[in-house]
Amino acid sequence: MATRLSDSERLSFEEASLEESFAKVIEWIERFLCAPNTELGRLGDVCPFARTAILKRAIAFYRNHSDTVAGLAADMEWHLDEFLQGGGLQDLYHCRIVVPGGIANAARAVEVVQKQLKPAFIERHVMIGQFFPDCEEPGLWSQTFRPLQAPIPLLAIRNMVPTDIAFLYGNDAYVRAYLEKFGKRGSIALQQYETAMEARL
């Protein structure tokens, strides 16, 4: 049975696969994130880590019961603490997907909460992503690709990885947190990213 934690209810992979909304998310991960796409602008799967995360059952699913944006934000802060205490930074594929179930305009709530909490998450070396059906955020390598368009609104939490410099570049605080985590390896990745960006100009 799912266990109620904070304002969220955890579902096992098996439970999630049997619930319509979560089953759509799993199908989206397997068929979209775990596959190449001609519009992506680079080779490989849309998400390089999703396939292994699915195979390892490293994705934890949660239904959030908050009925306000403030409540959802507070619960995501709780998830951040739980993620870190649970060894999130030690597992490259560890991920949490939180689906708001009690807010009328869930897509807008997801967008607001992600923007509000992103600095605090990155400071602690964790990424928080927003996904919803009409998300217009473009891909890194193609301005016409929309990789954040999920079948339902959700927030995703995962460990920061070296390739995340592409998401953090241009913000001094974000880059500082990135280099704090990855040190020399991060400096090399930063230089490589800047070289790649210059080559595209």
- For 143-195, the pLDDT digits (tens) are 788 889 999 999 999 999 988 998 899 999 999 999 999 999 999 999 998 89
**What pLDDT, on the 0 to 100 scale, is given for residue 39?**
80
CB atoms within 10 A of CB 110: 29
- At residue 165's C-alpha, the angle toward residues 162 and 170, to 5°, is 165
More confident residue, 87 or 113: 113
**What pLDDT, on the 0 to 100 scale, is given for residue 1?**
42
Domain boundaries, the chain: 3-160, 162-201
**What pLDDT, on the 0 to 100 scale, is given for residue 199?**
76
Distances from the Cα of 184 to the Cα of 63, 81, 168, 178, 195, angstroms: 38, 27, 17, 11, 17
First-residue to last-residue Cα distance in the chain: 53
Mean pLDDT along residues 1-17 = 79
Give the list of residues 6+ apart from residue 184 with CB closer than 8 angstroms, or none: none
Distance CA 158, CA 171 (A): 20
- What pTM, to 2 d.p., does this model score? 0.90
Query: Count H helices, E strands: the chain?
Result: 7, 6
Give the list of residues 6+ apart from residue 155 with CB closer than 8 angstroms, or none: 76, 97, 98, 100, 110, 113, 114, 128, 129, 130, 131
Distance CA 105, CA 119 (A): 23
β-pairing verdict for 3-5 and 126-131:
unpaired
